[in-house]
Chain A
Amino acid sequence: MANVICDETMESVAILAKLALSEEEKEQARKDMERMLDYIDKLNELDTTDVEPMSHVFPVSNCFREDIVSNGDGSASLMANAPEKRENQLVVPKTI
């Protein structure tokens, strides 16, 4: 079964992934993805009706921290790598 991905799907995935692909890249990405999905479709050979999806491989649970303040002022750390900053804040293109 060959997967065919339409332009619309490619564009919506690119929006979700926040990537701007050139036409050429988009074509290549489409081909790659179609082939990969064809390959992944192999999983459908297996009947998994009664199998629970396994998100965590070990039955480890309840890892908590207590509600105690343990961190101080992290602003200098945050600013250290900021591409653009002003008054201890990150600067981004206007959001509204």
Chain B
Amino acid sequence: MDIWKLSAVELGKKIKEKEVTVSEALEAALLQIEEKEADYNCYITVDRAAARERAQKVQKRIDSGELTSALAGVPVAVKDNMCTQGLLTTCGSKMLENFVPTYSAEAVNRLEAAGAVIIGKTNMDEFAMGSTTETSAYGATKNPWKKEHVPGGSSGGSAAAVAAGECFFALGSDTGGSIRQPASFCGIVGMKPTYGTVSRYGLIAYGSSLDQIGPMSRDVTDCAVILETIAGCDKKDSTSIDRKALSMNDSGWTGMDFSAALREDVRGMRIGIPRDYFTDGLDDEVKASVLGAAKTFEECGARVEEFDLSFVDYAVPAYYTIAAAEASSNLERFDGVKYGYRTAGYEDLHSMYRKTRSEGFGTEVKRRIMLGSFVLSSGYYDAYYLKALRVKALIKKAFDRAFETYDLILAPTAPTAAPRLGSSLSDPIQMYLSDVYTISVNLAGLPGITVPCGMTQAGLPVGVQLIGNCFMEKKLIQAAYTYERAAGKFPVPSERRGAK
């Protein structure tokens, strides 16, 4: 048995049934790391000793019957923008090259309470600003399907680690597509839950009104179980939503028993395809794969039709205005006073601030901080920031209208498969445009999931995205699960390579 090829839930079951020990599971992942890290660079930090120690402890608690969760004993990788107590948390930046949090993010706490074993922290675009994981201060991550290509971003390290078998599942964060886009580039499942579903406490903020933590996994079943583990109202996050308190007449769809939605049934579901998503910018191969997926849904009994979503072209500029504005404020705390990098030479307080930040932040981060400071500055606030918030309201309204008719929206996750390394950063706007299908979901606070749906001729995965109305994760999971069963399980990279 190749342990490392198991899904998280399969592994959890085998651990529970004593077919595999927690240590064996961990060593299996560590071995993959040993063999592949030099090639892929998925991790910024791997803490073998702590993981081994924790594996022992978790094993004892499983043996004593104390830990019964589906994820008990399963090794997990965490994106490096989530605080982990006692474990270096860099956010992909030199600014936090030495930051060891004294507390853990709520999502991390929930994973650990369920008995998952943290292996390490995954690579990412610096402060989650990027779509390729190339803006990391710790080197680019490579796509396990093709090393010359990016894994996507910003959660590229998490996506690549899951795809390469260097962990059994991972946490990512998604501000404008940072879970879904790399998941689609790496041929795995990734989900951004409804805003407020997973606590943001301990997630180092990029765009606070857009950021959500979510699962990155090998299949839809894992995705549902992981989400069930990390979701829930948290009193430490004011924007976290108490779904139980919401009185929703929804015949159970808005519940948080996500694994209950792992059912093969899309009969009668109405799925809308935004006509305005299938325009010039979309790669033909990607288009064919996504429409192929739509056909599968139809064959499974869903009613699929095209419609006009509208405002599609305005999502990217609105998003970059809002995200940059929030980021410029969120990143003010990195100043060399309390933690992280401090410049070596300075004359006074302000030169300390300016040199620390100029040396500590990379180009893309500085670009967005400058833009964000500008759009909030006096004289421009109304014209840019408020304007973007008004457009955000229009975009939300467009989705509200769509969900009056449709249960789900089906769309590409990204306009192309993974680009080659080094081909994206030179033209920022072109890079931003590649987020066109994921970004509006964050602006509207909606849940979105990506599931692999095909391969390009060049051998790169393509993902199909399903978007649900707010709190409708169960509908997404049920549809994604149905599709996954109908389409057959997606291969993992090395198997595919082996077949050639």
Contacts and interface: CB of A to CB of B under 8 A. Distances in A.
Interface of A: 9, 12-14, 16-21, 25, 29, 32-33, 35-37, 39-40, 42-46, 48, 51-58, 60, 63, 65, 77-78, 80-84, 90, 92-95
A90 B346 contact: no
Contact of A20 (B99, B351, B367, B377): B351
Contacts, number: 161
A95 B349 contact: yes
20 contacts: A14-B370, A32-B371, A33-B370, A33-B371, A37-B374, A40-B375, A40-B384, A46-B390, A53-B392, A54-B390, A55-B389, A57-B444, A58-B470, A60-B196, A83-B338, A84-B342, A92-B352, A93-B346, A93-B347, A95-B349
Contact of B367 (A32, A56, A77): A32
A63 B238 contact: yes
A23 B428 CA distance: 20
Interface in B87-127: 98-100, 102-103
Contact of A58 (B195, B235, B371): B195
B196 A58 contact: yes
B349 A94 contact: yes
Contact of B389 (A14, A37, A54, A84): A54
Contact of B337 (A45, A60, A83): A83
Contacts of A95: 349
A77 to B, nearest CB: 4
A94 B351 CA distance: 12
7 smallest beta-carbon distances between A and B, as pairs: A53-B389, A81-B339, A57-B445, A48-B390, A54-B393, A20-B354, A83-B342
Given A29-B366, A42-B314, A43-B314, A18 B335 contact: yes
Interface string B381-401: 000101111111110100000
Contacts of A12: 377
Contacts of A18: 332, 335, 350, 353-354, 357
Given A18-B332, A54-B396, A58-B241, 20 more contacts: A13-B373, A13-B374, A16-B377, A18-B350, A19-B361, A19-B370, A20-B357, A39-B429, A40-B317, A40-B388, A43-B314, A43-B318, A51-B394, A56-B239, A58-B195, A58-B445, A60-B239, A81-B338, A81-B340, A90-B338
A2 B290 CA distance: 37
Contacts of A81: 98-100, 102, 338-340
A83 B314 contact: no
Contacts of A78: 338
Nearest to B380: A37
B235 A65 contact: yes
A68 B319 CA distance: 38
Nearest to B388: A43
A58 to B, nearest CB: 6
B348 interface: yes
A29 B337 CA distance: 26
B56 interface: no
Interface residues of B, number: 69
Most chain A beta-carbon contacts within 10 A, residue among B317, B384, B445: B317
Contact of A36 (B98, B314, B353, B428): B428
A33 B393 contact: no
A45 B391 CA distance: 11
B369 interface: yes
Contacts of A51: 390-391, 393-394
B396 A57 contact: yes
B379 to A, nearest CB: 10
A17 B328 contact: yes
B358 A19 contact: yes
B435 to A, nearest CB: 13
Nearest to A81: B339
Contacts of A17: 328, 357, 366, 369-370, 372-373
Interface string B188-209: 0000000110000000000001
B320 interface: yes
Contacts of A55: 209, 389
Given A16-B377, A46-B394, A48-B390, A36 B429 contact: yes
Most chain B beta-carbon contacts within 10 A, residue among A9, A21, A48, A94: A48
B367 A82 contact: no
Contacts of B320: 36, 39-40
Contact of A43 (B196, B387, B470): B387
Contacts of B429: 35-36, 39
A89 B157 CA distance: 37
A2 B470 CA distance: 38
B342 to A, nearest CB: 4
Contacts of B283: none
A9 B209 CA distance: 28
A79 to B, nearest CB: 10
Contacts of B348: 93-94
Contacts of B98: 81
B336 interface: yes
Given A29-B367, A52-B393, A82 B445 contact: no
A60 B241 contact: yes
B313 interface: yes
A16 B390 contact: no
A89 B370 CA distance: 31
A80 B349 contact: no
